């Protein structure tokens, strides 16, 4: 799919563009999750899967909903950095509430959570609702949500 954004007429100081190593990694994880949608990269995806350690392959499959059809917000940096390590460090600095909320939106589906909503990290009813929503999406989403909330 090609996305075109018309920025003609915008002053150049209002336009900022930068490549993001984390966004690129997420795009490649997207291809690995659904190589059938990217036939030109199917050979690459098959080679990568064949070379992965089994435990890493299982973890990638377990979390593939984070990048299969959409991307979790925390995997697309607002301010790209020069290296993947720097961007991953930025992800590490995201507060627990923000990280969990973003991960649960990707895991459970639905729209963006409201900041006034109770936190599933501290509110039992919100936690149960998040787990119910994840369970309704599938066993992998449920397992991921359980581990996310436990961690």
- Angle at the Cα of 148 from the Cα atoms of 147 and 151, rounded to 5 degrees: 80
User: Would you state the pLDDT for residue 116?
Assistant: 64
| 72-109 as b/e: b if 16+ CB within 10 A | bbbbebeebbeeeeebeebeeeeeeeebbbbbbbbbbe
Position 9 in a domain:
no
Residues 62 and 103 grouped into a single domain: no
Residues 148 and 104 grouped into a single domain: yes
Q: 19-65: per-residue pLDDT in tens?
A: 899 999 999 999 999 899 999 999 999 999 999 999 999 989 888 88
Decide which of 77, 93, 109 is a domain's last residue: 93
Is pLDDT above 80 for 70? no
pTM: 0.74
Is pLDDT above 90 for 108? no
Instruction: Give the domain extent around 50.
Output: 18-93
Is the Cβ–Cβ distance between 22 and 85 less than 8 Å?
Answer: no
Q: What token pair was written down for 87?
A: 């961007």
Q: How far apart are CA 143 and CA 126, in angstroms?
A: 17
Which of 15, 43, 50, 45 lies closest to 27 in space, CA to CA?
45
């Amino acid at each position: 799919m090609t996305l075109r954004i018309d920025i003609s007429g915008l002053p150049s100081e209002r336009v900022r563009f930068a490549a993001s190593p984390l966004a690129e990694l997420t795009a490649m994880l997207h291809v690995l999750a659904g190589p059938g949608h990217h036939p030109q990269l199917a050979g690459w995806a098959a080679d990568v899967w064949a070379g992965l350690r089994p435990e890493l392959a299982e973890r990638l499959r377990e979390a593939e909903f984070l990048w299969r059809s959409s991307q979790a917000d925390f995997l697309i940096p607002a301010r790209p950095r020069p290296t993947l390590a720097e961007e991953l460090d930025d992800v590490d600095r995201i507060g627990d509430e923000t990280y969990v909320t973003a991960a649960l939106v990707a895991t459970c589906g639905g729209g963006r959570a409201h900041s006034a909503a109770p936190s599933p990290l501290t509110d039992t009813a919100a936690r149960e609702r998040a787990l119910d929503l994840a369970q309704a999406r599938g066993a992998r989403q449920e397992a991921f949500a359980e581990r996310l909330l436990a961690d």
